[in-house]
Structure 1
Amino acid sequence: EAGVASCVYALLLSGLYYRNLNWTNLKEAFVRSTLATAMIMMIIAAASVMSFIITREQAAVELLGWLSTMTEQVWLQLLMINIFLLIVGCLIEGIPAMLILIPVMLPVVTKLGVDPIHFGWIMIFNLLIGIITPPMGVGLFILSSITGLTVENVFKGCIPFILPLLACLLLITYVPAVSLFLPNLLLPVK
């Protein structure tokens, strides 16, 4: 609904205020948006197939077994999961990464005693940090195309934010009340 409202607003603004809306520009915008949507849907389709295969092959059981052989301490296992998710976030865009990893990792973190909502916060925050981190930081490329700066210059501007984001990630990971305060307020645990 918000996307439709934004499109209508952009069309009205472009046509009535800026007066640069014509059939050629409109056709070009439709073609570009169709190609972008098709590319995103292809990525999501491939990620869905990959997620199915990983789930069918019992990767969660293997991952849980590997984590438990590495260490018995939950905080260290969560740290390893964070490092893994940060690496994935640097290489794969958020939605495909979630489609691939949530079915695999949710049983693992549930066995560790992590609330699913808490894990959702952990995963999203890791992938958020990955968006602004090379080599495949999608946010860097988007900002580069919008601002006209090189990807290197955009990354230099993002560097001061990475350490505070990592500190927030550790806070979210190891203090569950940070991410569960509002859900527990709305739906009290019995």
Structure 2
Amino acid sequence: MAVLFMMMLLFALMIIGVPVAAALALASLAFVLMEGLPPMIVLANMVNGINSFPLIAVPFFILAGNLMNSAGITTRIFAFARAAVGWMHGGLGHVNVGASVIFAGMSGAAVADAGGLGNIEIKAMRDSGYDTDFAVGITAASSTIGPIIPPSLPLVIYGVIADASIGQLFMAGIVPGLMMALALMVMVAWYSRQRNYPRDLNFRFSRLGQTFLDALLPLMTPTIIIGGIMFGIFTPTEAAIAAVAWCIFLGVGVYRTLNFRKILKVSFETVETTAAIMLIVAASTIFAWILTANQTARHFSELMVALTDNKVVLLLIITLIVLVIGLFMETIAAITILTPVLLPVAVGLGIDPVHFGIIMILNLMIGLLTPPVGMVLYVLSKVAQVPFERCVTATAPFLVPLITVLLLLTFVPAFSMWLPTLVYR
């Protein structure tokens, strides 16, 4: 009964606009007081929840993405993507997706992609005569590739909560991320035929070669991160630190676009973002601890099995639950709350925790494109200077390829498990 009250209080607090971290902490405190437990349990569990070595990767990956944006490296990435795929019909739509794939290997965050590349992409598409709705929709959808292709902040958080290998999770995200890109490019091709969108420019090897050389050093960032992890040179946490060092080297030593003032500004922004994420993780930890201590996962599993013993139906139910929660809850909070409850059910169905992590993160990324939370939509609403409601309708058609990929990944584990099995097992 107390657990039910806690969950109802949490959603009530969120509905009236209380910040997610505060709502989680207050709901957990209410449970502790109702059960007559010492209030210090809340603080102790919150501190323990963020006392984790892998979580050190979070601020460094955020800092790396911010440094990339501040150093103007995103412009070089966009130019290379334009030379590579801009010759196709609806070229800038394909460029949008391609640039997101490249940037995904550097930042690991959808909001960073939408805010960093989004401004360049939407302006270029508008100037070339593309509909604003199409530009906003494809920019929003392609930004969700960022947290799937490594490095990925949500996968780091999931790995900590699920006690799963972050290296394996990173490997598991590569093929699904490329599948998302391919599905979105098919959608762009269809739109381009329907609306007669032009080719952006003719293909030239000289242009491709020049833009590749200009972007070569930034393109080495994902190679450093993924290659270093694959060959055991460093852990995912150490890879985040290496990424920051490389970004500073590029911005200060090579391109000379970063100075002390910019680095200080970016550092303060990183601290602010990290503090918000860590508060959510800490508050979610005590909430998840209460659910675990009260055997909520076991009760939920028994309820699911009582409904049906069909694996396909159970997987669809789990997917629907995560999708619905993703509509209303911030990604990090959803991961820390849902993982202890749903992971035991998934494991009971024979699903590998690494595979389940990819399913969950892609589910929650789709939530970033849907109201009422929809953080990517809020960012693009400011970037494109269009109403939030228009961003919602513009993005809706692009949910079709993303959900299609989600279903493929859910029911064909080989897509996400092939690389981790090859590298680690």
TM-score if structure 2 supplies the norm length? 0.39
Q: Does 1:147 align with 2:384?
A: yes
- Which residue does the alignment assign to 2:316? 79
* RMSD (Å), alpha carbons: 2.4
The whole-number CA distance in structure 1 between the counterparts of 2:392 and 2:244 is: 29
The whole-number CA distance in structure 1 between the counterparts of 2:298 and 2:366 is: 27
Distance change (3 Å), C-alpha of 1:187 and 1:152: same
How do residues 6-21 of structure 1 correspond to structure 2 at under 5 angstroms?
Answer: 6=247, 12-13=256-257, 15=259
- Which residue does the alignment assign to 1:173? 410
Q: Which amino acid aligns with 1:50?
A: F
How do residues 60-99 of structure 1 correspond to structure 2 at under 5 angstroms?
Answer: 60-99=297-336
Q: Which amino acid aligns with 1:143?
A: L
The whole-number CA distance in structure 2 between the counterparts of 1:157 and 1:144 is: 11
The whole-number CA distance in structure 1 between the counterparts of 2:412 and 2:282 is: 35
The whole-number CA distance in structure 1 between the counterparts of 2:274 and 2:419 is: 34
- Which residue does the alignment assign to 2:293? 56
The whole-number CA distance in structure 2 between the counterparts of 1:92 and 1:3 is: 29
Q: Which amino acid aligns with 1:184?
A: T
Q: What is the CA distance between 1:5 and its match in structure 2?
A: 4.8
Gaps of 5+ in 2: 1-240
Runs of 4+ in 1 over 3 A off after TM superposition: 3-12, 25-37
The whole-number CA distance in structure 1 between the counterparts of 2:341 and 2:350 is: 16
The whole-number CA distance in structure 1 between the counterparts of 2:423 and 2:258 is: 42
The whole-number CA distance in structure 1 between the counterparts of 2:378 and 2:366 is: 14
Distance change (3 Å), C-alpha of 1:4 and 1:136: farther
Corresponding residue to 1:132 among 369, 373, 383: 369
Q: Which amino acid aligns with 2:257?
A: L
TM-score if structure 1 supplies the norm length? 0.82
Q: Which amino acid aligns with 2:330?
A: E
- Which residue does the alignment assign to 2:229? none
Q: What is the CA distance between 1:124 and its match in structure 2?
A: 1.0
Are the aligned partners of 2:367 and 2:374 in contact in 1 as well (CA < 8 Å)? Answer: yes
SS of residue in 1 equivalent to 2:257: helix
SS of residue in 1 equivalent to 2:405: helix
Structure with more contact order per residue of length (Cα contacts < 8 Å, sep ≥ 6): 2
Percent identical residues: 36
Q: Does 1:116 align with 2:116?
A: no
The whole-number CA distance in structure 1 between the counterparts of 2:310 and 2:302 is: 13
Q: Which amino acid aligns with 1:120?
A: G
The whole-number CA distance in structure 2 between the counterparts of 1:28 and 1:123 is: 33
Mean Cα deviation higher: 29-38 or 81-90: 29-38
Q: Which amino acid aligns with 1:40?
A: I
